[in-house]
Each structure stands twice: as C-alpha cells, then as structure tokens.
C-alpha cells in the first residue's frame, strides 16, 4: 500500500483526496501556488510545498516543480486529481520514470483515448458504436466544410484534443460554418495547443450518458453503472445524477458492457469514464446510444456514483495504483437509491453567467447533504482558476426525492459578495420537467426564462427586506408599518433600498422570515444588499447609453474588431475578452462611431474597465 501521497492539484479535489488518504493512514503532501498558501487544502495536508506563482503554467502545470516537490518530501506516489496534468501522458511517464507511483491511467491509455479522432477509430475497431461524423487527417477549411455539408446540419465541431466543454461549436447551417470553425480553432489552440477538429452529427434530442469504469493490473475491469450528465450549459455540466432517468435494465446492461469493452480495448487501469451520446427522441434505446469519448481520470461528478454504490472511488484508485486487485467483482456491485450533484459556481446567471471573483466575506453551506468544497469563509475566488465554490450532493430513494433535497439545499446557500448560480440551480431542480426526468442537453437553453433569476428583486425579497429593517423594541421585527393617516387606515408602506435601487413596499401580513447578515439578505439562493433608502437616491443603474463599453469581468483582451474612427452598427461585435477559458464578446449598443480606444489587444483588464467609447449618431 502507498504510504505517502503528493496531490498535484488544488481546491476541492485536493481536499477530497486528502480526506480519503488520511482515513486509510497515508501521509499527504500538498503543492500550491503563491496565492493558494492559505487555502484549506494546504492546511489540511501533512506537508505543503509552494511550487510557483499564481499562473497555472508556472505552478500546477509545471511538471518539473511538482516532481521535485515529490522527491524532496519523500512522497511515494502522485495523484493528479482532475484537470491540470491529470490526462497528460508525458507527465504520467515522467512520474513513473522518477520512481514514483502514478495514481492514474497508464500513459498508453491516456494517449489512446486523448485524441478524439484516434479514440473513435479504436472504438470502431473494438466494435463499440460511435456517432456518425468525419475523423479525417485533412484539416483544410474547405474539406471540413464539405464534410459538414455531407453529414447534414446541424453538426458539432469538436477540438480533437478537447475536453471540459472547450473547443466545441454547434453549427446549424453552411453559412455559419466558417465563422464557427475559426472560433473553435482559436479556442482549441488557446486551451490545448492543438487547433485540429473533427465533425460530428449533432443529435437534436441528445442525452449525455457516461459510465464509470475501473480496471486493475490483474486484468479485471468492472463498471459502477451510469450517470446522466445531460443538464449542461455551453457543453459544461451543471447537474449530474445516477442512475439515468428512463434507463431500463436491458439498456443499462448494453451500455455498461460497451463501456467495459471500450476500457478493455486500451488495457485500462484505474478510474475512467466512457461517455456516450444518446438520441432520446424515442426514449433511451441501446441502438441509439453512441460512444463519444473517454475521460482517463476521476470525474468531477464521481460523488454521485459513490452515493449509489457505497464505494470510495479515491480509495479504489489508491488500491489499484498499489498493485492490489479491484476490491469488488461486478456481481457484488449494485445501485442503491438516487444521487444528484450540482456545481455551485462563482458566476452571475443574470449577466450571462460571467465569472464573479473576490473574497468570500460570508459563506454558509446547507446541512443534510454532502458538500465537497475547496474554500472556506474568508478565502478568495480568483480569476486564475476554475470558479467552482462547491459540489452539492444529495442522496434519496428516488429521482424526485434527490431533486427535492438538492433544490432545498441550493436555495439555502449563502454567499456574499461573490455572485453564485445557487438560485439558478434551485430553480432548475424545482422545474416540473426536471422533476419528471424530461431533460436533454438543450434543457437550460429552452427554459432559460424560467431558470435565470431576474435582475430586479422579487416581491418576496422586497417584503423580507422591508421587515428586516424594521426593528421591534426588544428584538425581532414589526409585522406592520406605522403611519397614522386622517380618515384612512394606517399606512403600511415603507421605503427601502435593495440591490442599490430604491423601492416603496406595501407590507403584507404573514411574510416569511429570511436569513440576514450585516445588511445582506439571503433568500432562495440569492443575496441582496438592503437597508433604509439614502436621501435623494432614486435607485436603478446606468446602462450603456453613454457609449462606454465596459469589461463585465476581469480577463484578457484576445480580439479587437474595431479601431478609433470606425463606424459601427447596433449589435456589431467590438471586442472579445477571455477569462477562465471563457470568451465573452461585447457588441455595440447603438449605431455610432468609435470615438476613443482605451485598451490594446492582449491587455489584462479588471471588471468595470472602460475599453472604448462610442458616440451615437445624432
């Protein structure tokens, strides 16, 4: 058994690995960047080593520094978690060449499944069904256009070296293809250093089904059943569950055995996930479920599999890396109940899910569910890393039971001043179609109006804020407003300020209490600053009528489409900002002329920076 383990990762997954390692008596070593020195995973490890500046390229992606830290601290093994170097075959080889144990897939398996086109060809040879598409070596734009035309629209352009939802574009017509291809290539080159792509038929009613597989060095391979990851936004998973709604026993057997067959085809060892795309227009059927790709690592959503099987997958990883056989045979594994995971992100759904950064001045997680988090109150959400705050995991007897518990948990999240998607998650989990399992990958886009909270406070928020600012003598709150009026009932109207805007609220009886903290109200997963109205304050916020094009998030300017003096039309793209591997295009709010440029390409900007100034047509 491994007796000491270096975790080549950070945040939530580092804490997750440390938790299991400590339980089984393994010494843990954390590596961290300069700005992560006070993070919980650093404190909880038995030893910690700083490996560089905040930039991931100089720290968490620096193989030399990580291996050096392992050698200096006497670590016997390295666990890469997910992301960063977890699917880097060269790093896996360097770890083993250094005499260390690699707690991950063999380098040969990572290479075999790392490039989507090569992986699909291998699966075809192994008899695993794959999605129709183009996997050719000819990467000329003209050839890719012809292949897409032949496949028939809509199609999906995917980066050959892609993953995590990056480097993917849906194209609905031939006219859209050139621009989508260029954008996909640019993102793929930035994220993976490889701009090659493949083309797939886009399934109009797609479900994303994945199967957890595990192999050992003794030739054993098992599956731990499927997960449904269909609820996505921009190809990024939002809510995952296990088992998959609507999956009958025969279809489950066919899909899970196909996953085992795929793992055997690459002599797989360790934890991995075989991802399938299902055409769910006629329910889940084995003959309409196709291989997409393999993730040769532990997945973000592995806790839902742990919940329904009762197994610790990190412990399985350690056992297999130590040379032990799998702890259970296939016939010993079974499904118990239903589990769901929601990813709580530092982002603002009301502004297009732009990342939100800053210090977590107030942070409270709900009780009664599993919470895997990399942060605590007082920590910073930085622009350097993924903005996930926590994973919220519920377990119940049925799909509806698990959804109800998770919705309640999301609604009780309290975070300030960083914005989160908690209210969006609660609304999604409460949606009638989600409760019945009627989801596919287009669910969020179809129901966005219902799922995304409005920018203005609801009547419930206003009522709760109004009661919160009315202190009752001796504690508590008044249940009604005061205000004697001649020949009229007493006035129950009160002036308040919520979210920077002023409101007049007519108090109602029977209002429910809300959680408040230092002038912030938490209700239904949202957070609102509130208080008495300031003198002369009319509320509201300025729009773009002044012509200032403002950075909505911190990031890097990767493209400028206009120059000073250019004439622009309303809706015309002006500038593209990238942050956390996400691109945000800012467009002209009206017809006019670029009167001033305040930024250069490749510049780093902070949220609220004025990038350029427009003058409208008179």
The CA-CA-CA angle for residues 37, 42, 47, to 5°, reads: 115
In 3D, which of 170, 167, 178, 133 has the Cα closest to residue 154?
A: 170
Edge-to-edge strands, sheet with 370-373: 289-295, 270-279, 206-215, 221-233, 236-242, 338-345, 388-396, 370-373
> Are 223 and 259 in contact, with CB atoms under 8 Å apart?
yes
Phi, psi of 383 (to 5 degrees): -80, -5
Rounded mean pLDDT, 485-502: 72
Average pLDDT over every residue of 573-583: 79
Distance CA 147, CA 216 (A): 40
Which of 145-149, 525-529, 584-588 is predicted least confidently? 584-588
Lowest mean pLDDT among 224-238, 520-534, 575-589: 575-589
- Residue 154 reports pLDDT greater than 50: yes
CA distances from 425 to 26, 156, 232, 442 (A): 36, 27, 12, 16
Percent with pLDDT over 70 in the chain: 93
In the numeric block, the tokens 């009206």 are attached to 590
297 in active site: yes
How far is CA 616 from each of CA 186, 189, 568, rounded to the nearest angstrom? 32, 37, 9
The radius of gyration of the chain's CA atoms, rounded to the nearest angstrom, is 26
The structure tokens listed for 252 are 């489950």
Question: Is-contact 497 451, C-beta < 8 A?
Answer: no
> Over the stretch 443-471, which tens digit does the pLDDT of each residue have?
999 999 999 998 889 999 999 999 888 76
pLDDT of residue 219: 96
* Whole-number pLDDT of residue 474: 47
At 118 the pLDDT is 84
C-alpha span between 180 and 170 (Å, rounded): 8
In this prediction, residue 490 carries a pLDDT of 56
Query: Which of 60-64, 426-430, 566-570, 587-591 is predicted least confidently?
Result: 587-591
Contacts of 254 (CB under 8 A, 6+ apart): 286, 289
DSSP characters for 484-538? -BTTBPPP-EEEEEETTEEEEEE--TTPPP-EEETTEEEETTEEEEEESPPTT--
At 374 the pLDDT is: 97
Q: Which residues of 247-258 are buried (b: 16+ CB within 10 A; e: fewer)?
A: beeebbeebbeb
Reported confidence tier of residue 473, pLDDT bands at 50, 70, 90: very low
Q: Has residue 497 got a pLDDT over 80?
A: yes
- The confidence band for 582, taking pLDDT boundaries of 50, 70 and 90, is low
pLDDT in tens, 399-441: 999 999 999 999 999 999 899 999 999 999 999 999 999 999 9
Count of beta carbons in the 10 Å neighbourhood of residue 366:
18
- Residues 111-120 as b/e (b if ≥16 CB within 10 A, e otherwise) read bbbbbbbebb
Confidence at residue 294, expressed as pLDDT on a 0 to 100 scale: 93
Structure pTM? 0.80
> Which pLDDT band, with edges at 50, 70 and 90, does 604 fall under?
confident
Q: What per-residue confidence (pLDDT) applies to 191? A: 87
Question: Residue 484 has what pLDDT?
Answer: 45
| Measured distance CA(362)–CA(379) in Å, rounded | 10
Structure tokens at 95: 């770890």
pLDDT band (50, 70, 90) for residue 472: low
CB atoms within 10 A of CB 407: 23
Q: For residue 155, what pLDDT is reported?
A: 95
pLDDT digits (tens, 9 = 90+) for 47-103: 999 999 999 999 999 999 999 999 999 999 999 999 999 999 999 999 999 999 999
Q: Give the CA distances from residue 593 to residues 174, 506, 547, 577, 613, in Å, rounded to whole numbers and listed in that order.
A: 32, 46, 10, 21, 9
Burial class (CB in 10 A: 0-12, 13-18, 19+), 410: buried
Select which of 297, 405, 419, 467 is catalytic.
297
Answer yes or no: are the C-beta atoms of 313 and 297 closer than 8 Å: no
Q: Which residues contact 249 (CB under 8 A, 6 or more apart)?
A: none
pLDDT in tens, 253-306: 999 999 999 999 999 999 999 999 999 988 899 999 999 899 999 999 999 999
Task: Determine the pLDDT at residue 532.
Answer: 86
Contact yes or no for 70/52 (Cβ under 8 A): no
The average pLDDT across 183-189 equals: 94
The secondary structure element, H or E, covering residue 444 is helix 443-446
CB-CB contact of 409 with 525 (8 Å): no
In a 3-state reduction of DSSP, which class is residue 553? coil
Contacts of 142 (CB under 8 A, 6+ apart): none
Q: What is the mean pLDDT of the chain?
A: 90
DSSP string, 457-484: PPHHHHHHHHHHT-BPTTSSB-SS----
Confidence of residue 544 (pLDDT cuts 50, 70, 90): very low
E-strand spans in 138-280?
A: 155-163, 166-171, 197-201, 206-215, 221-233, 236-242, 270-279
Q: Which residue has the higher pLDDT, 212 or 529?
A: 212
Quick one: pLDDT at residue 434? 96
**String of DSSP letters for 45-112:** SSEEEEEE-SSGGGTTT-HHHHHHHHHHHT-SEEE--SSTTTT-HHHHHHHHHTT-EE-S--HHHHHH
Across the chain, how many H-helices and E-strands are there? 17, 36
Given a contact cutoff of 8 angstroms between Cβ atoms, the answer to whether 215 and 221 are in contact is yes
CB atoms within 10 A of CB 575: 22
């Amino acid at each position: 058994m491994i007796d000491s383990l270096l975790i080549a990762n950070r945040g939530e997954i580092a804490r997750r690995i440390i938790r299991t390692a400590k339980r089984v008596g393994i010494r843990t070593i954390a590596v961290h960047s300069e700005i992560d020195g006070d993070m919980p995973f650093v404190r909880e490890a038995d030893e910690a080593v700083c490996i560089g500046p905040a930039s991931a390229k100089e720290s968490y992606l620096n193989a030399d520094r990580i291996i050096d830290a392992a050698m200096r601290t006497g670590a016997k093994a390295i666990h890469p978690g997910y992301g960063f170097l977890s699917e880097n075959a060269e790093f896996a080889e360097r770890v083993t060449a250094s005499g260390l144990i690699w707690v991950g897939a063999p380098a040969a398996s990572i290479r075999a499944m790392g490039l989507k086109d090569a992986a699909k060809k291998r699966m075809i040879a192994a008899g695993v069904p794959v999605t129709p598409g183009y996997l050719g070596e000819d990467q000329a734009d003209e050839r890719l256009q012809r292949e897409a035309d032949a496949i028939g629209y809509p199609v999906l352009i995917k980066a050959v070296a892609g993953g995590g939802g990056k480097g993917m574009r849906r194209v609905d017509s031939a006219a859209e293809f050139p621009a989508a291809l260029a954008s996909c290539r640019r993102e793929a080159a930035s994220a993976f250093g490889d701009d090659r792509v493949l083309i797939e038929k886009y399934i109009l009613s797609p479900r994303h089904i994945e199967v957890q597989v595990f192999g050992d060095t003794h030739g054993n391979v098992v599956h731990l059943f499927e997960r449904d990851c269909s609820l996505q936004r921009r190809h990024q998973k939002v809510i995952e569950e296990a088992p998959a709604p609507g999956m009958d026993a025969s279809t489950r057997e066919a899909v899970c055995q196909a996953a085992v067959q795929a793992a055997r085809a690459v002599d797989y060892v360790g934890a991995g996930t075989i991802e399938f795309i299902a055409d769910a227009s006629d329910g889940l059927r084995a003959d309409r479920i196709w291989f997409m790709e393999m993730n040769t690592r532990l997945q973000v959503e592995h806790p839902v599999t742990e919940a329904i099987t009762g197994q610790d997958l990190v412990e399985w990883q350690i056992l297999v890396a130590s040379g032990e056989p799998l702890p259970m045979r296939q016939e010993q594994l079974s499904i118990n109940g239903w589990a769901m995971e929601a990813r709580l992100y530092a982002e603002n759904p009301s502004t297009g899910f732009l990342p939100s950064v800053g210090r977590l001045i107030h942070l409270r997680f709900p009780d009664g569910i599993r919470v895997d988090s990399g942060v605590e109150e007082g920590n910073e959400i930085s622009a350097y890393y993924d903005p996930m705050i926590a994973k919220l995991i519920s377990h119940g007897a049925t799909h509806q039971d698990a959804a109800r518990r998770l919705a309640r948990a999301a609604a009780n999240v309290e975070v300030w001043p960083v914005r989160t998607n908690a209210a969006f998650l609660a609304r999604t989990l409460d949606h009638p179609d989600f409760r019945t399992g009627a989801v596919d990958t287009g669910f969020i886009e179809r129901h966005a109006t219902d799922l995304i909270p409005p920018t203005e406070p609801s009547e419930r928020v206003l009522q709760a804020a109004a009661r919160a600012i009315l202190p009752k003598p001796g504690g508590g709150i008044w249940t009604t407003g005061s205000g004697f009026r001649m020949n009229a009932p007493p006035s129950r109207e009160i002036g308040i300020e919520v979210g920077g805007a002023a409101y007049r609220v007519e108090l109602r009886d029977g209002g429910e209490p809300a959680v408040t903290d230092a002038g912030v109200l938490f209700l239904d997963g949202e957070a609102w600053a509130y208080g008495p109205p300031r003198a002369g304050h009319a509320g509201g916020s300025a729009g773009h009528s002044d012509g200032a094009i403002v950075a909505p998030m911190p990031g890097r300017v990767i493209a400028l489409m206009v120059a000073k003096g250019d004439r622009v039309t309303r809706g015309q793209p002006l500038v593209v900002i990238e942050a956390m591997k996400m691109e945000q295009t800012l467009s002209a709010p009206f017809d006019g002329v670029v009167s001033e440029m305040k930024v250069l390409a490749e510049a780093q900007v902070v949220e609220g920076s004025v990038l350029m100034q427009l003058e409208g047509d008179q």
